[in-house]
Structure 1
Amino acid sequence: MGISEIQKVMANNLKINKMLKFCPYEILKHWQFCEYKKGEILLKQGEIPERFYIIIEGYVDIYALAENGKKYTQALYTKGNYIGELEIFDKKPAACYAEAVSPIVLISLARDYFLKWIELDIHISNYFAKSMASLFYNLSIKAMNDNLYSLKYRLIKYLLESNQKPGDHPKEIEISINKDKISEQLAVTKRSINRVFRELRDRGIIDINNKGIIIKDMEGLLKEQELSKNQ
């Protein structure tokens, strides 16, 4: 991989440019391009990663898988996000899977060169410190919501955040949903999700069709969210 190709990547993405701007030449020349098809795994939970990755194109699902097969999605990564930084320092087993949910293009760096990069480039150390602090903050908020609030509150919050025009309250709002994805993201069963949706439907607040959810009573939904917040 030539330096000119790296420069093209940097020119096309401000986030990646900030990361690699002060990367020493002796490290810069060791970056490699890699591609994965949709559904391919680039990092397996429990395995020790030997490379550090930065996403150039596409989307990557970061999730944990329990022994009983239950899947818990932590984040959806895209262009400019990086993978493998938590485990690579001490050769720890990966805490999560990283799976391509679309065709993806990445650049990767072997562990030895990554550690040398950290040693030589003070800028990237500061960048990682700030970005990981932001990541841990967001994960803490997610963990708090998952543990402190009822499923009904979290599902209603999900519907409201999925609304394309949150400030607009037309008579009916149709929202496309994927129950499998919601199940993974909220770490609950589809049966539990269906139970909450049926309750809201029976109260005339939503309707359910093959495409997703139709919000029929926005004020009623907001009221249910407030009531369920303390359940």
Structure 2
Amino acid sequence: MSGNGSESAESGSESADKASAVRAGSEHGIWSWPRELNSGRALSSVGGTPIAILGGFSLTNAISAAREVDGGLWRELSIIFFGVAVTFFIAALLFIIIATAYASSPSERLDWAPEARQDKQKLETLRKFQYQDEWLLDNYSFRIELATIAGIVGTLAGLTCLLIAAYDNWSTRIIAIVMAATVIFVTMAYFRWPQWLFPGPSNWPGELSEIEDEQWEVMQKD
């Protein structure tokens, strides 16, 4: 009796998991998609060239600072910051290369496997792969953003230290303050704070009204 009870409990929990999965699928549609639909496009457009340019800029300045004899502690700090920036920019480039492999859209998957439009089992397989890739893309996008912000902060800090080491005067100190403010601004942009400066979807003041029957009919015709 106890064996039958445990088996029925297991089957009940399994069917409950399947039911929750079905509910999740019906809520989110066939495909898993991010709130920001252009995130993959932003990854490919911002990804390679700007980060590579910033990394090369930091590496060039680190080498230039290392060749200098004067400058003392500020020169040493600039080399450290530029070196850290180069490391994070290289990491961001590697993350971008890996993430790009998982950035295929659902339409591209169906182009490669058109039989999935008629074969439900094949569509389920594509759907599983797409859910996995979307999860991986989200994780790598987080790493790319974090590494890029760290690289930008390192570059700005290194440039500030390099300017102070080369020209210790009032104008340089003003530039250093501006650079420090830029570092704070970049950090605030990463955390999307404050929201009045970096608003998100939750700050939208409007409300969505339900779709009228007439609108639904027009959409179906389109």
TM range (shorter): under 0.3
Structure with a larger share of its residues in strand: 1
What TM-score do the two structures reach when normalised by structure 2?
A: 0.25
What TM-score do the two structures reach when normalised by structure 1?
A: 0.24
Larger of the two Rg values belongs to structure: 2
Higher relative contact order (CA 8 A, sep 6+): 2
Structure with a larger share of its residues in helix: 2
